[in-house]
Amino acid sequence: MAAHSAQTLLQIKQEGKKFCCLTAYDSTFAGLVDEAGIETLLVGDSLGMVLQGHKDTLPVTVDDMAYHIRCVARAVKNTLVIGDLPFQSYATTEQALKSSAQLMRAGSGMVKLEGGEWLSESVHSLTERGMPVCGHLGLTPQSVNAFGGFKVQGRDQSSADKLIADAIILEQAGASLLVVECIPRELGDKVSRALSIPVIGIGAGPDTDAQVLVLHDMLGLGSHSPRFVRDFMQGADSIQAAIAAYAEAVRNGSFPAQEHCFS
């Protein structure tokens, strides 16, 4: 099996097929995700909540991310490792270049950052310098304080239009992938159709080009399960079987179902 890259993921979208992404923060889980043939693995700054026990992702540092990316990178062969740039590590283009270089040196194959139009110069500079970028729009958890909580985004026409405009700007700036989080399913569909690059949804309905979940959530380990999560351990006799069931459900379009969607 060939190692995944922005190019192989684009090809999957162009063939009208779906692909999968899961988070992992350590070698053991990363190895399971890789062996299951999951195309992309996100070392998300969700580790601030899942591993470190914080109430949000804001305390996570670039050094934290680099440590977990190194742990993950040792275990993977084929999956594309995406490393999250944490809160305020890309507030300027200069910071974005420095922080991204640290994550790429740690073993990331792509960096992810949260935000729209204001990031266009940084996305351009990163891609020009050989650092592929994944954007992230919708409920961007690093802005939880600006949103007044973890709330569904893009529900009114003007914010939906803004999300589409931001997505197009990120693609034009050179982004290779886009994550959209907690938006109405109709908007997930619209943004995926509007872009040539693959769109990965979480709480964005079944019509995005790919899905991502926090691994601990889909294994039923979270203390609180958001509406868009399915517990794939139910009916599975091992973690490997749960990951395989997730991959199958994403690829055949049965996950997410209507009950996991916002409208």
Tokens 């110069």 belong to which residue?
A: 121
Check if 181 is active-site.
yes
Q: Does 9 bind ligand KIV (CB under 6 A)?
A: no
Q: Single out the segment in contact with ligand KIV by CB under 6 A; choices: 24-32, 42-50, 72-80, 234-242.
A: 42-50
Spell out, one character per residue from 158 to 197, where the chain touches ligand KIV: x when CB under 6 A holds, - when not: ---------------------x-x----------------
DSSP state for residue 141 in the 8-state scheme: G
Closer CB to ligand KIV, 173 or 215, in the complex:
215
- Measured from the CB atom, the residue of 173 and 204 that comes closer to ligand KIV is 204
Residue with tokens 């070392």: 43
In the complex, what is the shortest distance from the CB of residue 49 to ligand KIV, in angstroms, rounded to a whole number?
9
* 44 is a contact residue toward ligand KIV (CB under 6 A): yes
How far is residue 183's CA from residue 181's CA, in Å, rounded to a whole number?
A: 6
Identity of the residue, 42 or 219, whose beta carbon is nearer to ligand KIV in the bound complex? 42
Choice between 212 and 245, CB closer to ligand KIV? 212
CA atoms within 13 A on the CB side of 163: 31
E strands of the chain, at which residues?
19-23, 40-43, 80-84, 110-112, 133-138, 177-181, 199-202, 210-213
Q: Is 138 in the site for ligand KIV (CB under 6 A)?
A: no
Alpha-carbon separation of residue 195 from 94, 200, 261 (angstroms):
27, 12, 21
Q: Which residues contact 11 (CB under 8 A, 6 or more apart)?
A: none
Among 46, 89, 100, 120, binds ligand KIV (CB under 6 A): 46
- Closest contact distance (angstroms) between CB of 84 and ligand KIV is 5
> From the list 23, 102, 120, 125, which residue makes contact with ligand KIV (rule: CB under 6 A)?
23
Answer for which of 20, 33, 42, 229 binds ligand KIV (CB under 6 A) is: 42
Per the document, the length of the chain is 263
Structure tokens at 135: 């954007």
Q: Cα–Cα distance between 249 and 44 in angstroms, integer? A: 22
> Which of the following is catalytic: 39, 114, 171, 181?
181
Contact between 110 and 6 under an 8 Å Cβ cutoff? The reply is: yes
CB 111 within 8 A of CB 66: no
Q: Does 32 bind ligand KIV (CB under 6 A)?
A: no
Q: Residue 209, interface with ligand KIV (CB under 6 A)?
A: no
What DSSP element (H or E) covers 135?
A: strand 133-138
Element (H, E) at 32: helix 27-35
> In whole angstroms, how close is the CB of 222 to ligand KIV at the nearest point?
12
* Residue of the chain from 39, 45, 166, 209 that contacts ligand KIV (CB under 6 A): 45
Among candidates 203, 180, 168, 208, which has minimal Cα distance to 192?
208
Site for ligand KIV in 107-136 (CB under 6 A): none
By CB under 6 A, name the binding residues for ligand KIV.
23, 42, 44-46, 84, 179, 181, 202, 212, 214
Catalytic positions are 181
